Structure 1
Amino acid sequence: MAADSKLKKDYLNQIKGFQPRTPYISNCIKAFLVGGLICTIGQVIQNFFIHFFNFTKDTAASPTIATLVLISALLTGFGVYDKIGQFAGAGSAIPVTGFANSMTSAALEHRSEGIVLGIATNMFKLAGSVIVFGVVAAYVIGVVRYCIKLFFF
């Protein structure tokens, strides 16, 4: 058993020189810049709704999110969002646009199976888990906030 472990270690040491190094710093910078750009675009859209449609900051939030989802779905359909994702990595996984990209990708992938059994079924497999996680996380945060208010204020 010890010989297997030593053999594995020797093998891993030998192949290290042939493996490409992961550019962590440049990946982080790209993710930060693209994620920031997506958020900036969202802010510009929100300011547009506030300025031209006389929304308040609170009432402009819903149409802003809907617009970001629409833009993300269109970019996914045209194949642009995948290129952004390849370049930016985690920076393209901003919750709203990344979620829309995931759902649209699933719908496009399974469109040959039909609208109900292909698109709707597979598209909402991802949505269901995200919604469940969101509801559970909101509940936990609400309970924590309630306890903090109860005990400290």
Structure 2
Amino acid sequence: MADAERHPLFMPLILLGGLVFGFGLAYSHMARPEVVLDFLQFEDFGLVFVMFGGAAVTGVAYVLAPRLLDGPPLTRRRFERRLKSFDRNVLVGGAVFGVGWGLSGICPGAAYASLGVGNVTILWALAGMFVGAYVQGVFRSRSDAGDATTAGAD
């Protein structure tokens, strides 16, 4: 989608949404890896309530927004769900995400919020996320190039 089709407030509202999300994570202490690790060790279940709250708001928005609005007010596109098939890549990606979450005690969104509350050691986890994303991109581009070569040989 071209930037010209977007509402002029699109990017500022994305920034505002990120700030609200980060503030919520910091306020609920979910930007602290030790809180997340306590949850993963079944010692503190506060994260369940934070996740449920986010899922409830998202669920209501997904049900009501298409019925109440003609389209997204900021992108001028149709509302539609993007379904992703459950395949090997989804399973492996979820497993890698879970292992990284368990080792670092933080997920990508909360890592930035954690950095914002002064947790400088989280830079190691952020560096790992960037390296992992880069390696995955290289792996994916090579496998896509191999698929294109195989398809061309048919």
What band does the TM-score fall into relative to the shorter chain?
A: 0.3 to 0.5
- TM-score, normalising length: structure 1: 0.40
Whose helix proportion is higher, 1 or 2?
A: 1
Task: Report the structure number with the largest CA radius of gyration.
Answer: 1
